[in-house]
Amino acid sequence: MSPARLAALALALLAFGCAATQEPSVLALDRMGRSSSVEPGIARLDVRLREALRAATAAAEVDGVDIVVNSGWRSRAQQAQLFEAAVAEHGSEAAAAAWVARPGTSAHEAGLAVDVGPQRAADWLAEHGADHGLCRVYDNEPWHFELDPAAPDRGCPPTYADPTDDPRLQGRGTRSGRLSPAGG
């Protein structure tokens, strides 16, 4: 992804109030247990995903890696705005769908997905995330991870090329061992 695309995505996520803090996510996740004022992008994550992130973040810290949650839960309206921005950037809904799930189909809307950074953190999660039930889902989105409770025992399933390759987003079924997003 180009630096311009990353900057545009970060700005869009900041506008939604659900992303891009500079503090490691472990701090935001720790506050989650003590404060109801934590941003909805973290607070509305599935509790199992939050717990997996806490464990992974603590393990990553031991390796000197800070995991930052750039985006977590999103409302359908936020997902629609992201999708519309992707259509404007890529020229068509079909092209945009390779980068942003259509509204009503995103695991983010169900609180079952996070986008993490920086790249070092995404690389660490790609290597160690299965130990914590966190799996990378798309080849073209190395920052996107979803909860997979079977991963600690079986490892992560193969990734999809992009969201257009994901049958959960087309209503054609579910991925074995992977939770289905609500409304997807």
Summarize pLDDT for 126-168 with one digit per residue, the tens: 999 999 999 999 999 999 999 999 999 999 999 999 999 999 8
Please compute the mean of the pLDDT values over residues 74-96 and round it to a whole number.
96
Task: Evaluate whether residue 180 is within a structural domain.
Answer: no
Q: Are strands 113-117 and 144-147 parallel, antiparallel or unpaired?
A: antiparallel
Burial label for 176, CB within 10 Å (0-12, 13-18, 19+), is: exposed
Does the CA dihedral 40-43-48-50 come out positive or negative?
positive
Domain extent at residue 15: 3-169
- Sheet of 113-117: strand order equals 68-71, 113-117, 144-147, 134-136
Task: Evaluate whether residue 178 is within a structural domain.
Answer: no
Task: Evaluate whether residue 24 is within a structural domain.
Answer: yes
What is the domain count for the chain?
1
- Identify the CATH number of the domain in which residue 59 sits: 3.30.1380.10
Q: Tokens 């992130």 appear where?
A: 53
Please compute the mean of the pLDDT values over residues 56-69 and round it to a whole number.
97
Task: Evaluate whether residue 183 is within a structural domain.
Answer: no
Task: Evaluate whether residue 156 is within a structural domain.
Answer: yes
* Cα dihedral value 114, 127, 28, 61, nearest 10: -170
For the full predicted model, state whether its pTM sits above 0.75.
Answer: yes
